[in-house]
């Protein structure tokens, strides 16, 4: 297993957010974490990379127990994280944003250079010296992914990459994620948009009110419209 999460419980202050969440991601697999707004998708990701202070449970990445590790250690083991709210460094240029993400080459993960990333996201190549604050939402979304890939991760947690993007940009995003997949990066993708997930993912988990309530392959999920209607339909 690339990543396995057991009995993950998280709290924000007195509020209990995640209840015994369990996930598994295989080598090179692309897994979707589906759920409505507020279901606990982002909190799951934030808990895995250690950005939620009050969490308990077991998180094993590449055979190492990282449950007690600080964020920067977890990430520098090769577990990349792309936050939903993008969090581009707006005062830094595109090149500088990428520099912040740069990490040493890892033997078990694809090696990304600026040139490879600019080939993946051609828009970014044309604005290397533009401050992050003066980019469109779609360009920022590409930059966040590129920035995380600069760390040469072997697994990436992608939090709602299609949110708020125009259909044309979403298409580019699908292509980019498929390229990552072909390069051998394992991916966990959180989504509300089932169509987007179907284009990319092998398997899916559904999370609702902080609990994992379904898991299966994409094909199995497609065969169960009842599940889709109960847990995902708006």
Partner 1 sequence: MAFYFVQFLTGLASAASLFLVASGLSIIFGVTRIVNFAHGAFYMLGAYVAFTLTERFSGALGFWAGIVLASLVVAVVGVLVEMVLLRRIYHAPELFQLLATFGLTLMVQDLVVMIWGPNDLLGRRAPGFKGAVEFFGQNIPTYDLFLIALSPIVLGLLWLLFQRTRWGVLVRAATQDRDMVAALGVNQKWLFTSVFALGVFLAALGGALQIPRDAVHHALDLRIIVDVFVVVVIGGLGSIVGAFVAAVLVSELNAFGILIFPKISIILVFLVMAVVLIVRPWGLFGKPEAAARRTPGLTVNPWRPLTSGERLAAWAGLAVAAMLPLVGGNYALTVGSEIAIFVIFAASLHFLMSVGGLASFGHAAYFGLGAYGIAFLAKMAGLPMIVCLLLGPLLGCLGAAIFGFFAVQLSGVYFAMLTLAFAQIVWSVAFQWVAVTGGDNGILGLWPEKWAAGPASFYWLSIGVAALAVAALRIIVFSPFGYALRATRDSLLRSEAIGIDAKRIQWTAFVIAGTVAGVAGALFAYLKGSVFPDSLGISLSVDALVMVLLGGVETVSGAVIGAIVYKMLSIWLVSQTDLSKLVLGGVIVLMVVAFPKGIVGMLETIRNRRRPELPKPAVLKSGIESAE
The gap from C-alpha 117 to its chain's centroid, in whole angstroms, comes to: 17
CB of 67 to partner 1, least distance (A): 7
**Contact flag: residue 22 with partner 1 (CB under 8 A):** no
Stretch binding partner 1 (CB under 8 A), from 19-27, 96-104, 114-122, 213-221? 96-104
Phi then psi for 187, rounded to 5 degrees?
-135, 135
User: How many angstroms separate the CA atoms of 221 and 181, rounded?
Assistant: 21
**Contact flag: residue 12 with partner 1 (CB under 8 A):** yes
> Do 40 and 23 meet the contact criterion of CB atoms below 8 Å apart?
no
How are the residues of the chain apportioned to helix, strand and coil, as percentages rounded to the nearest 5?
Answer: 35, 30, 35
Stretch binding partner 1 (CB under 8 A), from 21-29, 45-53, 201-209, 217-225? 45-53
> Do 150 and 103 meet the contact criterion of CB atoms below 8 Å apart?
yes
Among residues 225, 163, 173, 223, which one has the least CA distance to residue 200? 173
Reduced to 3 states (helix: H, G, I; strand: E, B; else coil), residue 54 is: strand
Is 12 or 230 the residue whose CB approaches partner 1 more closely? 12
**Contact flag: residue 19 with partner 1 (CB under 8 A):** no
**Contact flag: residue 99 with partner 1 (CB under 8 A):** yes
Is 76 or 215 the residue whose CB approaches partner 1 more closely? 76
**Contact flag: residue 67 with partner 1 (CB under 8 A):** yes
**Contact flag: residue 151 with partner 1 (CB under 8 A):** yes
Touching partner 1, residues 119-148 (CB under 8 A)? 147-148
User: How many angstroms separate the CA atoms of 44 and 21, rounded?
Assistant: 8
- Name the residues that contact partner 1, by CB under 8 A: 9, 11-13, 16, 49-57, 67-68, 70-73, 75-76, 81, 83, 87, 89-92, 96-97, 99-103, 147-148, 151
């Amino acid at each position: 297993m690339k990543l396995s999460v057991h009995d993950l419980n998280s709290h924000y202050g007195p509020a209990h957010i995640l209840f015994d969440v369990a996930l598994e991601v295989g080598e090179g697999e692309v897994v979707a974490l589906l759920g409505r707004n507020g279901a606990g998708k982002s909190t799951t990701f934030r808990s895995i990379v250690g950005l939620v202070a009050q969490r308990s449970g077991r998180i094993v990445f590449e055979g190492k127990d990282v449950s007690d590790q600080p964020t920067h250690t977890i990430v520098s083991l090769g577990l990349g994280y792309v936050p939903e709210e993008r969090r581009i460094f707006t005062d830094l240029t595109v090149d500088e944003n990428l520099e912040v993400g740069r990490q040493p080459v890892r033997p078990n993960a694809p090696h990304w250079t600026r040139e490879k990333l600019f080939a993946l996201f051609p828009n970014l190549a044309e604005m290397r010296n533009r401050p992050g604050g003066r980019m469109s939402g779609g360009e920022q979304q590409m930059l966040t992914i590129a920035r995380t890939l600069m760390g040469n991760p072997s697994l990436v947690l992608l939090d709602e990459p299609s949110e708020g993007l125009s259909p044309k940009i979403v298409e580019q995003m699908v292509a980019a994620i498929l390229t990552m997949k072909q390069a051998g990066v394992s991916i966990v993708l959180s989504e509300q948009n089932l169509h987007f997930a179907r284009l990319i993912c092998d398997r899916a988990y559904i999370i609702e009110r902080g609990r994992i309530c379904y898991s299966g392959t994409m094909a199995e999920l497609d065969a169960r419209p009842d599940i889709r209607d109960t847990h995902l339909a708006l």
